[in-house]
Amino acid sequence: MDIFQANDIVKEYAGHVALSSVSISVKEASIFGLLGPNGAGKTTLIRIINQITAPDSGELFFEGRPVKADDIYQIGYLPEERGLYKKMKVGEQALYLAQLKGMSKNDALKSLKYWFEKFEIQAWWGKKVEELSKGMAQKVQFITTVIHQPKLLIFDEPFSGFDPINTNLLKNEILELKKKGTTIIFSTHNMSSVEEICDHIALINQSKKILDGQIDQVREQFKTNTFEIVYRGEVPNLQYHLGSHFNLLEHDESSLLKQMKVQFLNNQSNNELLKILMNQFEIVSFKELIPSMNDVFIHVVEQNNREIKQ
């Protein structure tokens, strides 16, 4: 089931189009990657989901029905640029933010105790935020985002400012939240983390959605039928053996294990290539090259920008 759906969202700011007819749907208990270059309109879309701003036109659905004002209590939001009241004590502040999200004081205290213990930061309760390091403040902020057990979480660049250990901790927390049934919208420029944790992505460029789908399918969609073969042996004239159906892109014979990249020109099957190669040398590995999200991102955005320019 889709926990959140946006249809044909349009938002303009004084002549500047921030979002033009963007639609997304987010499946329950999945991680949805919202991608796009800087200034593409991601933040605007996130603000619309959060009901910080309203769209000029378009429809929004939460749990299958049109959004209500109360739905924001089911949403947790960790903005990219984040901060807390510097002069306020950590515990007081976390309690305040939890209450603003509609929790009762007792529930909030209980829940905060659980999270502070989990992150081993009980000692910070009475400290002022200005005494914390950036990473420490980020942890507190993460807690205040998830404290009210929202059904939908929105993380905007959640890993920025974290060291590798805390990044890992946070990643595991996010995956655990997903396991418990929480839906997560995840906006980032870090494509390797997208590949790692996202189930579904939407790519926005220059206020339009230009790509959408299951992450595996998206990558599949952009594969170029290229295979990487590692082998042992000698082949004097490789392209001759490959014939006209296969194109030799790269050939590296410098080390003991030689490597080549071959592109299928027609709809050949893998086995046909293997048949040819098997006769020439010993195959060590054979794998299809599926483009990384990073490659897909760059390829799609650059192509889109060229199209817009023309």
Partner 1 sequence: MNKSFLILKREYLTRVKKKSFIIMTLLVPVMMAALTILPTYLAMMDDKEERTIAVFDPTGLILNRLESNEFTKFHYIPEQEFQKLSKNFSSDNYYALLHIPANILTTNRAEMISDKQVTFDIKNLVTRRIENIIEGEKRKQVIDETGVPDLEKRLSATKTDITVETIKLGDKGEAVKSSTEIAMAIGYAAGFLIYMFVFIYGTMVMRGVMEEKSSRIVEVIISSVKPFQLLFGKIVGIGLVGLTQIAIWIVLGIAIVTGLTAFVGQEATEAAAQAQNIMTNPAMGQMAANTPEAQNKVIEIIGMIGNLNIPLIIFALFFYFIGGFILYASLMGAIGSAVDSDEDAQQMMLPVTMPLIFSIIILFAVAKNPEGPLAFWASMIPLTSPVTMMVRIPFGVPAWEIILSMAILIATIFGTIWIAGKIYRTGILMYGKKVNLKEIVKWLFYKN
Task: Choose between 112 and 229: whose C-beta lies nearer to partner 1.
Answer: 112
Q: Does 1 bind partner 1 (CB under 8 A)?
A: no
Q: Does 160 bind partner 1 (CB under 8 A)?
A: no
- Choosing from 59, 64, 66, 100, the residue that interacts with partner 1 (CB under 8 A) is 100
Query: Within 13 Å of residue 281, how many CA atoms lie on the same side as its CB?
Result: 20
Contact present, 230 and 251 (Cβ < 8 Å): no
- Choosing from 70, 81, 120, 234, the residue that interacts with partner 1 (CB under 8 A) is 81
Task: Choose between 71 and 260: whose C-beta lies nearer to partner 1.
Answer: 71
Tell me the number of residues near partner 1 by CB under 8 A.
32
Q: Does 134 bind partner 1 (CB under 8 A)?
A: no
Q: Does 14 bind partner 1 (CB under 8 A)?
A: yes
Q: Does 54 bind partner 1 (CB under 8 A)?
A: yes
Q: Does 284 bind partner 1 (CB under 8 A)?
A: no
Q: Does 278 bind partner 1 (CB under 8 A)?
A: no
What distance in Å separates the CA atoms of residue 44 and residue 20, rounded to the nearest whole number? Answer: 11
- Binding span for partner 1 by CB under 8 A among 77-85, 182-190, 246-254, 295-303: 77-85
- Choosing from 111, 138, 144, 193, the residue that interacts with partner 1 (CB under 8 A) is 144
Contact present, 154 and 49 (Cβ < 8 Å): yes
What distance in Å separates the CA atoms of residue 212 and residue 310, rounded to the nearest whole number? Answer: 23
3-state secondary structure of 104: coil
Q: Does 126 bind partner 1 (CB under 8 A)?
A: no
Contact present, 291 and 224 (Cβ < 8 Å): yes
Q: Does 109 bind partner 1 (CB under 8 A)?
A: no
- Choosing from 31, 84, 218, 235, the residue that interacts with partner 1 (CB under 8 A) is 84
Q: Does 101 bind partner 1 (CB under 8 A)?
A: yes
**Where in 81-161 does DSSP place strands (E)?**
152-156
Task: Choose between 39 and 233: whose C-beta lies nearer to partner 1.
Answer: 39
Tokens of 230: 């590692």
Task: Choose between 96 and 286: whose C-beta lies nearer to partner 1.
Answer: 96
Minimum distance from CB of 35 to partner 1 (Å)?
20
Please list the helix, strand and coil fractions of the chain in percent, rounded to the nearest 5, in that order. 40, 30, 30
- b/e code 108-139 from CB counts within 10 Å (16+ = b): beebbeebbeebebeebeeebbeebeeebbbb
Q: Does 77 bind partner 1 (CB under 8 A)?
A: yes
Residue 208 buriedness (CB in 10 A; 0-12 / 13-18 / 19+): middle
- Choosing from 8, 39, 66, 85, the residue that interacts with partner 1 (CB under 8 A) is 85
Contact present, 207 and 50 (Cβ < 8 Å): no
Residues that bind partner 1 in the complex, under the rule CB under 8 A: 13-14, 47, 50-54, 56, 72-73, 75, 77-79, 81-88, 96-97, 99-102, 141, 144-145
